[in-house]
Structure 1
Amino acid sequence: MTCLACSPLAAQVRVKKPDRGTYQAPGSAAETTGDWELYPDDSPQLSRIQIDEVIYDDMEVASDAEGDGLQVVDAPGGLQLRALGEVAGANSQPSNAQIVRPVSAMSVHPNSSANGALMGGARIIQSTGSSHRGRVLRKTSGTVTMMEQPTFVGETIIGSSTPTSFQGPGCGMEGPGCGIEGCGCGFDVGCGLEGPGCGLDSYGCDSCGYGGCDGMCGPSSGPCGAICVDPNRWFGSAELMIMFRKGDRLPPLVTTDTAPDTGSLDTGTVLAGNDSVLKDSTVGGRLTLGLWLDNHQCRSLVFRGWVAGDEKYSFGADQRTFDVLAIPFFNVATDAEDSNVVVFPNAPADPAINGRFGAVGVDAYSELYGGDISVRQFWRGGLGTTFDVLYGYQYMRLSEGLNISSSSTLTEGTDAGNYISIRDSFEATNEFHGAQFGLAGRYREGCWSFNWLAKAAFGNVRRTADRQGSTTVGPPDTPQDGGLFVDPDTNEGTFTSDTFGWVPELDVNLGWHRFSNFDVTIGYHLMAMTDAIQVSGIFDRRINDTNNVLPSPAMRDSTFYVQGIHFGLSYIH
């Protein structure tokens, strides 16, 4: 199985390591120098050696070092080291040698720990003299390590029979597998790539990847303090979301009956209300935009904005569809069920109730959206898996409303032709502001990836209940205060309260690397808001209270949730 070892893109591949001890026999297509072979980037012939330590070092080459004969190598092609088979002698190579990717930013620490000798046959940047011996050579952005005439014994690079520590991308190596895994960044360049364009990954991995902004914001163009426009710094996704709300169970709102009964709950049949509404699927969307905050891709800033789409419910009827239409309520004055009759047939069905025609309508809606911004910091990873911790700010808004309107005109009796129109409006709004903490993870295997997010935000939930009522009688039109369920003396107006609440969230998705730099994703999400109010929590059907206490202005809260599936396209690099 071929390993990508030098390509910068390979630094973003996260796959499983092969078993320890795997060895690939040498070929004969390479140019041999001493006991090692040098290959170009596109060579498929790679074997495996293990190096003790690899760390990043972004420091400039000291001016005195340049005076010692160091020469910067611009736009390096990168090296790949191919170990030979067993060679007789003290510096023979073991059969369980492993491979490592030489990166485009490395340094070599010559030391005298072995036999007191200094390294003379290895160099970073291109050395034209020997005055650099014994000093630490550091890289300038864009340079590459070039090793001359090393042989490999165990897990140490030897130059001229002298131990040399090998340093590169900011981390230690963990294990002898086919790739790098270290700096606590879950960086794993390994084998097992399954075709061109597969397995390349950046978003959500927080890996110690390469690329970054060296070309745009590096030392050659100033400090990297500003936001860089390098596309390797950015990632994101756009998703279509099909969402299902918890819904709300409304009280009985419209009834019908058979005359002479008047549609009270004792005898009537409910046409609207007394059931859960606002729970059908809606189409929304989510946009995610992220920025890597360091060249190692260990920390990122992620913004998400989403909208669930509006959910609506409506009902309408008039005298053409029903002989009796009424709005039921509980009459506190009589301590019994009662109704406001809107449509009723002419007498003599019930001489106590004049005939009338009219119409009644019910409209309800639900709006839901939110967003968050967080910093994601790598925690741990390995074998193609990464775990990030995240912290930041979250906002969520839920607004639901209900309108009940009726119009009725008398058709007989001394008041024939008189009419009355009544309207009641209820709106419940919840706004959450708080801090969020959680975990995010990712696992990639070839062209497939699995991502998950589990977090919870805690903070303030501001609940606002707005109740408005109006009544018009005529002719002529004469407005009156209040409606049927909204009393200006008890519950009409705007009421606000604040409470502590939670917003937990779970999100999982499966990704397929279908296009270059893009994953096609499908997943499931669940989000909730505790201590939220809905229309049913601010609606009181108890009216006609002579003590002016009911209907009540109180707010009853509960936990609201929304869930669904999403389909998207994720940009990675």
Structure 2
Amino acid sequence: MSSNRILAIALAFVASAGVISAQDRVVSEPVPGGQPDISALLIESPSSPRFWGSSEYLYWWTQRQTVPSPVLSTGPLGTTGTAILLGNNAPFDAQPHHGGRFTLGMALGSERRFGIEANYFFLSQQTDNKSDIASGAPGSTGTGNPYAFPSPGGGTPESFFTLAIPGAFSSVTTLSLSTRLQGIELNGLYNLRATANRRFDLLVGARYLDLQESLNLHTDSPTIPPTIQNDYTINDTFATRNQFVGGQLGARFEASRGLFFVNGTCKIAIGNVHQDIDVSGSFRQVTPAFDRTYLGGVYALPTNIGSHTRNTFAWMPEVNLNFGVNLTQHVRLYTGYNFLWINNVVRPGDQIDRTINPSQFFGGTLAGTPRPVVSFNDTSFWAQGITLGLDIRY
């Protein structure tokens, strides 16, 4: 390597530390004959690649679901000695999701000041379950689904859909909640500042986020011999989907020292979220004489069964911070933390209306007030966790 090139590299390093220029900016000016242009050195540095791509493993948690309404108890709510067995905001275990994120980018122009970048991420479906078993043995505790009903005389007194009856019926009730998340981004990049070991970019682009969740309440309630067979199988399912589409702005920085580097990104997206609530229910009754399935379970009945949609405003910030090492000039390994939040989503546990008109049970015709209904009870949602990534750039 010539002494002139060594001197040029040294000058670039000093300039990046702020010694040569308070603005730390590379200026394209004529240089003395035979001396290389410092800006050319920066273009060839790893901080200003022409192409880049990364693959990341995600180990994230999502905000746990709850079911505000009591959905299984030992008697009508408000009755002395009644215990709530499922629901009533009892938290589910926050199990982590495994997932991945894949990014491709390209710099544009001879100075590589502009660029384009796309990424896709996903979190695999995570399902959490809680169950209750009632033996139905003589002297055991009975169970059922508590609800309120619109009384013709006014008010909503408490009632009870019986499942397990000691000496007659047993029951196994399972409450399941599932969550999966994915998203896509396409961003344009503008390099605001670049040196041999520092870089600051602005980004503007579009973003799509897809949050899909479901709640299923399933009960098997068979008869206990010698009682004549009269078995029940009940299903109530509430599924939600939130699809966010919007524009976003953000900033990204990177600093390096020797083999090591740190970078981070902060973004905020603003747009529309399309919300869908899909309610379904069934009630199967098996006796020696017939096997029938009716439309509607207990909390999912003809008045709220079906697909319900709306569009509403939402905003979504995201931040991430990474620390890594340059394995070679073109390959880097890093680990980091990521946090994402959206202000307006519908989640299945919040969509249960426990005020029920029981005239609809067993496929009956509605008589009186149409309940339950879908009300689009919204809330916020977050996802966060650690990442492990491999980055390749040329």
Instruction: Please confirm whether the aligned pair reaches a TM-score higher than 0.5, indicating the same fold.
Output: yes
Report the TM-score when normalising by structure 1. 0.58
How far is the alpha carbon of 1:437 from its aligned partner?
Answer: 1.2
Counterpart residue number, 2:117: 302
Q: Distance in 1 between matches of 2:214 and 2:357?
A: 24
Q: 2:197 aligns with which of 384, 387, 399?
A: 384
Counterpart residue number, 2:64: 247
Counterpart residue number, 2:320: 507
Counterpart residue number, 2:276: 464
Alignment of 1:284-299 (within 5 A): 284-299=99-114
Residue identity over aligned pairs, in percent, reads 23
Q: Distance in 2 between matches of 1:315 and 1:446?
A: 51
Alignment partner of 1:437 is 2:249: yes
Q: Distance in 2 between matches of 1:281 and 1:419?
A: 37
Alignment partner of 1:564 is 2:385: yes
Q: Matched residue of 2:375: which SS?
A: coil
Q: 2:297 aligns with which of 470, 483, 494?
A: 483
Alignment partner of 1:422 is 2:234: yes
Q: Distance in 2 between matches of 1:3 and 1:250?
A: 71
Sort the Cα spacing of 1:410 and 1:491 in 2 relative to 1 into closer, same or farther, 3 A.
same
Counterpart residue number, 2:344: 531
Sort the Cα spacing of 1:466 and 1:273 in 2 relative to 1 into closer, same or farther, 3 A.
same
How far is the alpha carbon of 1:462 from its aligned partner?
Answer: 0.3
How far is the alpha carbon of 1:324 from its aligned partner?
Answer: 3.4
Q: 1:282 aligns with which of 94, 97, 120?
A: 97
Count of aligned residue pairs for this structure pair: 371
How far is the alpha carbon of 1:569 from its aligned partner?
Answer: 1.4
- State the one-letter code of the partner of 2:324: G
Mark the runs of 5 or more structure 1 residues left unpaired by the alignment.
22-51, 56-106, 109-121, 123-145, 148-165, 170-179, 190-199, 208-231, 347-354
How far is the alpha carbon of 1:427 from its aligned partner?
Answer: 0.2
Q: Distance in 1 between matches of 2:14 and 2:316?
A: 32
Report the TM-score when normalising by structure 2. 0.82
Sort the Cα spacing of 1:411 and 1:290 in 2 relative to 1 into closer, same or farther, 3 A.
same
Counterpart residue number, 1:201: 46
Alignment of 1:327-476 (within 5 A): 327-333=144-150, 335-346=156-167, 355-381=168-194, 384-411=197-224, 416-475=228-287, 476=290
Sort the Cα spacing of 1:263 and 1:329 in 2 relative to 1 into closer, same or farther, 3 A.
closer
Mark the runs of 5 or more structure 2 residues left unpaired by the alignment.
359-366
On the 8 A contact 1:523/1:566 being kept in 2, the answer is yes
On the 8 A contact 2:216/2:236 being kept in 1, the answer is yes
Q: Matched residue of 2:349: which SS?
A: helix
Q: Distance in 1 between matches of 2:333 and 2:93?
A: 30
How far is the alpha carbon of 1:8 from its aligned partner?
Answer: 12
Q: Distance in 2 between matches of 1:500 and 1:343?
A: 45
Q: Matched residue of 1:249: which SS?
A: coil
- State the one-letter code of the partner of 2:266: A
Structure with larger RCO (C-alpha < 8 A, sep 6+): 2
Counterpart residue number, 2:84: 270
Q: Distance in 2 between matches of 1:419 and 1:506?
A: 52
On the 8 A contact 1:325/1:344 being kept in 2, the answer is yes
Sort the Cα spacing of 1:8 and 1:181 in 2 relative to 1 into closer, same or farther, 3 A.
closer
Q: Distance in 1 between matches of 2:52 and 2:233?
A: 56
Q: Distance in 2 between matches of 1:15 and 1:511?
A: 24
On the 8 A contact 1:11/1:187 being kept in 2, the answer is no
On the 8 A contact 2:325/2:332 being kept in 1, the answer is yes
How far is the alpha carbon of 1:452 from its aligned partner?
Answer: 1.0
Counterpart residue number, 1:496: 309
Sort the Cα spacing of 1:547 and 1:9 in 2 relative to 1 into closer, same or farther, 3 A.
farther
Alignment partner of 1:518 is 2:331: yes
Sort the Cα spacing of 1:553 and 1:518 in 2 relative to 1 into closer, same or farther, 3 A.
same
